[in-house]
C-alpha cells in the first residue's frame, strides 16, 4: 500500500544524486528488496511510470533484485538461505532461529546514466 511513497522517495534520492551529472538521462534504477521488506515488486513497477513522469528519470527502467532471507544457524555454525518466508527454521537441521542476516533490505543499489548526453550538454 505504501509502494508509491517508496517509489517517490527513490525518485527524489536519484534526482538529488543527479546534480553531479548535469544533463544526464537515467536509463535504469536498480533496487535491492529483501523478501521480508513488505513491498510488492509489481506495485513498485506499476508506480514507477507515474512517479518518474516529468522528472529526469522519465522513461527509465526499474530493476528490482529480490533477496532471500538469510539467517544464522547456531548448530550448523553458518549462515543459511531460506527458501521462503513461511518458516524460520534451518533448511539443513530444522533448528528455528531469529538471527536474521538478510531479508529486510530496501535500498537503492545503483542507477545507470547515459554519459553521451552529459558530454553533449557540455559542448
Partner 1 sequence: MTTRIVELRRGILKKNDELAAGLRGRYTAAGVMVLNLVSSPGTGKTAFLELTLKEMRARGTRVAALVGDLETDNDARRLAASGAPVRQINTHGICHLDAEMIGKHIQDWEGVELGGLDYLFIENVGNLVCPSSYDLGEAIRVVLLSVTEGEDKPLKYPTMFNSADAAVITKMDLAVPCGFDRTEALKNINEIRPGIRIFETSVKSGVGIEEWLGYLEEQRAGRGTQSERPAR
Instruction: Please give the residue ranges that form the binding site for partner 1 (CB under 8 A).
Output: 1-2, 5-6, 9-10, 13-14, 17, 21, 27, 31, 36-39, 85-89, 96-98, 100, 104, 106-116
Task: Please identify, using beta-carbon distances, which residue of 79 and 107 lies nearer to partner 1.
Answer: 107
Measured from the CB of residue 23, what is the shortest distance to partner 1 in angstroms?
Answer: 13
Task: Please identify, using beta-carbon distances, which residue of 46 and 88 lies nearer to partner 1.
Answer: 88
Structural contact between residues 121 and 22, judged by C-beta atoms closer than 8 angstroms: yes
Measured from the CB of residue 56, what is the shortest distance to partner 1 in angstroms?
Answer: 13
Length of the chain, in residues:
123
Torsion angle of the four alpha carbons 105, 56, 42, 40, in this order, in degrees rounded to the nearest 10: 30
Alpha helical stretches, state H, 1-123: 3-17, 41-52, 115-122
Measured from the CB of residue 123, what is the shortest distance to partner 1 in angstroms?
Answer: 15
Angle ∠(42,45,51) on CA atoms, nearest 5: 140
Measured from the CB of residue 10, what is the shortest distance to partner 1 in angstroms?
Answer: 6
| Residue 47 neighbours by CB distance under 10 Å | 19
Task: Please identify, using beta-carbon distances, which residue of 49 and 94 lies nearer to partner 1.
Answer: 94
Amino acid at each position: 500500500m505504501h509502494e508509491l511513497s517508496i517509489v517517490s522517495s527513490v525518485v527524489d534520492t536519484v534526482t538529488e544524486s543527479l546534480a553531479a551529472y548535469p544533463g544526464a538521462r537515467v536509463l535504469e534504477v536498480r533496487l535491492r528488496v529483501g523478501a521480508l521488506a513488505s513491498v510488492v515488486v509489481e506495485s513498485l513497477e506499476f508506480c514507477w511510470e507515474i512517479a518518474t513522469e516529468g522528472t529526469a528519470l522519465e522513461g527509465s527502467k526499474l530493476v528490482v533484485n529480490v533477496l532471500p532471507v538469510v539467517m544464522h544457524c547456531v548448530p550448523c555454525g553458518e549462515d543459511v538461505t531460506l527458501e521462503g518466508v513461511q518458516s524460520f527454521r534451518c533448511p539443513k537441521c530444522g533448528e528455528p532461529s531469529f538471527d536474521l542476516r538478510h531479508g529486510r533490505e530496501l535500498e537503492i543499489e545503483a542507477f545507470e546514466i547515459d554519459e553521451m548526453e552529459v558530454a553533449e550538454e557540455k559542448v
